A and B are shown apart, each in its own frame.
Chain A
Amino acid sequence: SQQGEEDPQALSIQEGENATMNCSYKTSINNLQWYRQNSGRGLVHLILIRSNEREKHSGRLRVTLDTSKKSSSLLITASRAADTASYFCATALGANFGNEKLTFGTGTRLTIIP
């Protein structure tokens, strides 16, 4: 099964609203990353949060990490039509497990309605 699982699988909101998507994982991690994918294109890195960090911001993006619950959330504020995409979380495991792999979840499909 996947290390990271996003929730919800799909989300539709009006332009200007905030979008929140969640990611849960199973094992200890070194860091967690969020990526965006426009339809059929390559993934683009958005933000990386390390296991010793709790919150991180980048522009309209806010990511939180709760290692006790093994979960992360991505908040996109003041959404725009251009934010329509799929969003994936990816976990890099801790040193004890080998950190060579970045394991992706199945993604949240976000649609912004103009």
Chain B
Amino acid sequence: EAQVTQNPRYLITVTGKKLTVTCSQNMNHEYMSWYRQDPGLGLRQIYYSMNVEVTDKGDVPEGYKVSRKEKRNFPLILESPSPNQTSLYFCASSPIYPYNEQFFGPGTRLTVL
């Protein structure tokens, strides 16, 4: 089944404790992206990647890191989480051309205390 998976689905952590949220897709998509969703703000892009070893900042990259060492994986790293990073996070993937729709993962609900 074609899908985007994220782990963990739920995470409660404390300020400053490094964490990684994994994202994997099995559709051989070049493009992958991370979003955060907050009430009243919709989805905002954090980082995106056009292909292996190619990443770029989205609208709200501060406090986050990403890497794209393999085509299928695009982990999101919070080196020192803070409470304002409490949010619902989504990973998505798509083929690059011709600017097709994005396939979303199920989401990761993160709470930083």
* A42-B102 in contact given A88-B43, A100-B50, A101-B48 (Cβ < 8 Å): no
Alpha-carbon distance A13/B19, docked complex (angstroms): 43
Query: Please, which residue of chain B has its CB at the minimum distance from the CB of A102?
Result: B102
On whether the beta carbons of A48 and B101 are closer than 8 Å, the reply is yes
- Chain B contact residues: over half helix, strand or loop, or mixed? strand
Of the residues A41, A88, A99, contact of B99 by C-beta under 8 Å: A99
Which candidate, A63-71, A73-81, A103-111, is the interface stretch facing chain B? A103-111
**Contact assessment for A48 and B100 in the assembled complex, using a CB-CB cutoff below 8 Å:** yes
Interface residues, chain A, CB within 8 Å of chain B?
Answer: 2, 30-31, 33, 35, 40-45, 48, 88, 92, 99-107
Chain B residues with a Cβ under 8 A of chain A: 4, 31, 33, 35, 40-45, 48, 50, 56, 58-59, 88, 90, 92, 99-107, 109
With most chain A CB atoms within 10 A of its CB, the pick from B43, B88, B90, B103 is B43
Residues on B with beta carbons closer than 8 Å to the beta carbon of A102: 33, 45, 102
**Chain B residue nearest to A2 in the complex (CB):** B42
Query: Nearest residue in B to A92 (C-beta to C-beta)?
Result: B99
Measured between alpha carbons, how far is A92 from B101 in the docked complex, in Å? 10
Known: A88-B43, A102-B33, A106-B40. A42 touches B99 (CB 8 A): no
Which residues of A sit under 8 angstroms from B88, Cβ to Cβ? 40
In the A-B complex, list the 9 residue pairs whose CB atoms are closest, starting with the nearest.
A45-B101, A42-B104, A106-B42, A104-B43, A43-B104, A104-B42, A42-B106, A92-B99, A42-B107
Residue numbers in B under 8 Å from A104 (CB-CB) = 35, 42-44
Find chain A residues with CB under 8 A from B109 CB. Answer: 40
Given A35-B104, A102-B102, A103-B59, output 15 extra A-B contacts at Cβ < 8 Å: A30-B99, A33-B101, A33-B102, A41-B106, A41-B107, A43-B102, A45-B103, A48-B100, A100-B31, A100-B56, A101-B45, A103-B45, A104-B35, A104-B44, A106-B40
30 of the cross-chain contacts (CB-CB < 8 Å) are A31-B99, A40-B107, A40-B109, A41-B106, A41-B107, A42-B90, A42-B104, A42-B107, A43-B90, A43-B104, A44-B104, A45-B101, A45-B103, A48-B100, A48-B101, A88-B43, A100-B31, A100-B48, A100-B50, A100-B56, A101-B45, A101-B48, A101-B58, A101-B59, A102-B45, A103-B59, A104-B43, A104-B44, A106-B40, A107-B42
